[in-house]
Amino acid sequence: MSFLEELSTVDTENIARRIESASDAEVDRALSRERASVDDILALLSPAAARRLEDLAERSASLTRRRFGCTMTLYAPLYVSNECVNACVYCGFSRRLQIPRMTLDVDTVVREADVLRSQGFRHVLLVSGENPRSVDARYVEAVVRAVRSRFHSISIETAPFESHEYARIAKEGVDGLALYQETYLAQVYREVHPVGPKSRFDRRIEAIERGGEAGFRSLGIGALLGLSPFRVEMALLALHGRYLSRRFWKSRIAVSFPRIRPTPGGFSPPHPLDDRDLVQSVCAMRLALPDADLVLSTREPPHLRDGLMSLGITRMSAGSRTNPGGYASEHSRSGRQFAIEDDRSPAEIARVLSQKGLEPLWKDFDRSIHAPTSP
Amino acid sequence: MLPVVIAGVALRSRLFIGTGKFSSPAVMAQAVEASGSDLITVAIRRVDIDAPSDSTLSALDLSRLHLLPNTSGARDADEAIRLAKLARAACGTTWIKLEVTPDPNYLLPDPIETLRAAEQLVKLGFTVLPYMNADPVLAKHLTEAGCATVMPLAAPIGSNLGLRTRDQIGIIIEQASVPVVVDAGLGMPSHAAEAIELGADAVLVNTAIAIAHDPVTMARAFRFAVEAACLARDAGPGDRAVRARASSPLTGFLRDEGSA
């Protein structure tokens, strides 16, 4: 059964009621369990658990240390294109916005990669908007071939591809796929994705399973926080993570927590989260998915990133530029996807991690593990 | 205390240390020092061979320590073999701790792929120390494949649960013709002592030390526990029994017969 089929059996209103009505006793029980049940997850996301945030944070921190040790994996996003045929209302790349657009040629991507490598990065995430004419699977493969000798782990966050395309991309040496559903509530999804291929909820949610079949070692999921009431959204995201880890048992699940930031389009989120909500989301997700990588980008401000370092996050970006060409050329005029709140350099982030008793891991994989491919 | 001998190499300490999960290479190096260990294992996937001085390796006194690179991160035999070859080139040792863990959650070792990799690595001239589930039959197969040790888990990696596979490990030890190193899941010094008292030749510890509030002190605690258990074994412990003597012995009739 696909997750889409599983999701169709979920009564979201019932989930919302159970979350809202969770009792202190249910929160207690959820906090004391070695493995969280679905009921426990709902309790951990409840307003009742919000009053126990310190206890939740303590459990999350200790589980994270036991499983991942005192470490934090660092990565950088490398934006290769901001061309996009979609008009997602929250996104700085929406086709309705008048911004300078570009898709980097392979040589320019290599220059960007060189900057990231010189900063210490060995893990990179290739990001693009959705434009089948400029960023197709062939382009992604060409980019990967050009930069793979510079990195040890390459992930992609692009528009969905077909199974055979994912298989080819994986074979070129990409080990991670990130594909965020943005929202698991179909009605909300339709409202914020009015046109373009991304407007099809089903097409998007099914794509990550094609990636799982292609053998990506890391499967990244996420919901864009602020589009809908976060408690239900986080519960559905946790269910998705559990589904994927059961079905693709050789892949690690990674969960991101992108909170909507101001964009050039001036979108303001209909259901904004405060910092406590975000911290509860991260910690509850840790208890729901003890072995998942929990990922935090530079969308969040320094004080919050520093706090979350110790609580459950295991993978962080640093020094990010969210416009194509933004690393090699400080004055690149291309439009960016969202505003960066934490503009500290990768070296500064590494220093902060060390001060907090966490070893920054620039390299946690080795490309030689892949089957040899022709150069 | 006698040293443990693995593939002809005598190791004084029966405590081996894993180097992942520490808060910094410096803390790791201090903990290794405090543990008194002679053998440390390093995940080759974390070593940056291109970097002039990889932080993990350069923090360690490799003139004194035996370096045991491991293949953690490998999901099948082919990946493990590629990592082993990389380790040999990078670290200049043919010793390899074979880890094949396809499931990223509990990191349980794959018996089929581990055996397949072990057979090939032995043929390629490696000294293979395989991480394995506590399966006595698999231990026999790995020994026959030419492995230098077997390394059964006490509990899942990083769980700190202690010697949950005690009975199975007891059988492995009883039947062993290579050293048995209990690996993974030992969460407290008492767990390590229990494994040595049971007859294990050595133990390997990482998480319990690395994530302790004071890793250096915890490393010392493990050292003392392992040494204490070794001493106790050498001292020849008395038999243990909690048994009351029956007031009317079952064999009492024999005496009755004799005196009649």
Taking only the tens place, the pLDDT of each residue in A2-41 is 999 999 999 999 999 999 999 999 999 999 998 999 999 9
Which one of A368, A370, A373 makes the best mutation probe of the B interface by having the most chain B beta carbons within 10 Å? A368
Chain B neighbors of A357, CB-CB under 8 A:
23-24
In a domain, B253, yes or no: no
Contact B73 A363 (CB under 8 A): no
What does the alpha-carbon distance between residue A299 and residue A176 come to, in Å, rounded to a whole number?
Answer: 21
Q: Is the pLDDT of residue B260 over 50?
A: no
- Distance from C-alpha of A20 to C-alpha of A42, rounded to nearest angstrom: 9
For the segment B163-168, the average pLDDT, to the nearest whole number, is 96
Global pTM value: 0.89
Burial environment of residue A357 by CB neighbours within 10 A (0 to 12, 13 to 18, 19 or more): middle
pLDDT, residue B259, reads: 52
The answer to whether A359 and B24 are in contact (CB under 8 A) is yes
Phi, psi of B18 (to 5 degrees): -90, 145
Give residue B211's domain range: 4-239
In this prediction, residue B107 has a pLDDT band, given cuts at 50, 70 and 90, of very high
- List chain A residues with CB under 8 Å of B25: 359
Closest residue of B to A371, CA-based? B79
- Predicted local distance difference test score (pLDDT) of residue A375: 44
A220 pLDDT above the threshold of 60? yes
Q: What is the CATH number for B124?
A: 3.20.20.70
Q: How far apart are CA A312 and CA A59, in angstroms?
A: 9
Contact criterion met (CB below 8 Å) for A19 and A45:
yes
Nearest to A369 among B45, B47, B210 (CB): B45
Whole-Å CA distances, B130 to A337, B47, B97, B109: 47, 20, 6, 9
Residues in chain A: 375
Give chain B's mean pLDDT. 91
Judged by CB atoms closer than 8 Å, whether chains meet at B24 and A359 is answered as yes
pLDDT in tens, A61-98: 999 999 999 999 999 999 999 999 999 998 888 998 88
Burial of A276 (0-12, 13-18, 19+ CB in 10 A): exposed
Write down the ipTM of this complex: 0.79
For chain A, the distance separating the N- and C-terminal CA atoms, rounded to the nearest angstrom, is: 39
Residue B29: its chain A contacts at CB < 8 A? Answer: none
Residues in chain A within 8 Å Cβ distance of B158: 66-67, 69
- Closest-CA distance, A174 to chain B, in angstroms, reads 15
**Per-residue tokens: B82:** 């590629």
Q: Is residue B120 part of a domain?
A: yes
Number of domains observed in the structure of chain B? 1
The tens digit of pLDDT for each residue in A246-279 reads 999 999 999 999 998 766 667 889 999 999 999 9
| Kind plus residue range of the DSSP H or E element containing A209 | helix A201-214
Among B17, B56, B103, pick the best mutation site for testing chain A contact (most A Cβ within 10 A).
Answer: B103
Polymer length of chain B: 260
Going by the DSSP 8-state scheme, the letter that residue A258 receives in this structure is: P
User: In 10 A of CB B243, how many CB atoms?
Assistant: 6
Q: Is residue B103 part of a domain?
A: yes
- Beta strands B4-6 and B9-11: pairing type? antiparallel
Q: CB distance A66–B158 less than 8 Å?
A: yes
| Integer CA distances (angstroms), A74 to A43, A365, B53, B134, in order | 31, 12, 19, 35
Which chain A residue shows the shortest CA-CA distance from B74? A369
CB contact under 8 A, A368 and B86: yes
Q: Distance, in angstroms, between B81 CA and closest chain A CA?
A: 9
Active site (catalytic) residues of B: 97
Kindly list the residues from chain B whose CB atom is less than 8 angstroms away from the CB atom of residue A360.
none
Per DSSP bridges, beta strands B15-18 and B9-11 are unpaired
Task: List CB contacts (< 8 A) between A369 and chain B.
Answer: 45, 73-74, 79, 82-83
Distance to chain B for A117, nearest Cα, Å: 11
Average pLDDT in the B229-254 region? 78
Q: How far from each other are the two terminal CA atoms of chain B, in whole angstroms? A: 54
Please give, rounded to a whole number of angstroms, the shortest distance from the CA of A365 to a CA of chain B.
Answer: 5
Q: What six digits make up the tokens of A310?
A: 């110790």
Residue B212 falls within a domain, yes or no?
A: yes
Judged against a pLDDT cut of 50, whether residue A324 lies above it is answered with yes
Please judge whether B210 and A70 are an interchain contact, meaning their C-beta atoms are less than 8 angstroms apart.
Answer: yes
Query: Pick from B48, B74, B211: which is nearest to A65 by CB?
Result: B211
A199 in Cβ contact with A193 (< 8 Å): yes
CB contact under 8 A, A252 and B104: yes
Q: Which residues on neighbouring strands pair with residue A78, listed in sequence order?
A: A126
Task: Tell me the count of A-B CB pairs closer than 8 A.
Answer: 77
Determine which of A194-198, A248-252, B249-253 has the lowest per-residue pLDDT on average: B249-253
Is B244 inside a domain boundary?
no
Mean pLDDT of B160-189: 95
Q: What angle do CA B70, B71, B74 make, to 5 degrees?
A: 160
As given in the structure block, the two tokens for residue A329 are 């050329």
b/e for A161-191, b at 16 or more Cβ within 10 A? beeebbbbbbebbbbbbbbbbbbbbeebbee
Residue A241, φ and ψ in degrees, nearest 5 = -60, -40
CA A309 distance to own-chain centroid = 16
Task: Indicate the average pLDDT of chain A.
Answer: 93
Residue B108 with chain A: CB contacts under 8 Å? none
Query: Does B255 reside within a domain?
Result: no
Amino acid at B260: A
Give the CA radius of gyration of chain A: 20
For chain A, the structural domain boundaries read 70-366
Nearest to A279 by CA among A241, A307, A298: A307
Give pLDDT tens digits for A134-150.
Answer: 999 999 999 999 999 99
| Mean pLDDT across A110-120 | 96
What's the topology of domain A70-366? TIM Barrel (3.20.20)
Helices (H), A9-92: 12-21, 24-32, 38-44, 47-50, 53-68
Q: How far is B116 from chain A (nearest CA, A)?
A: 17
Distance from CA of B157 to the nearest CA of A (A): 8
Are A366 and B45 in contact (CB < 8 Å)?
A: yes
Contacts of A270 (CB under 8 A, 6+ apart): A226, A227, A228
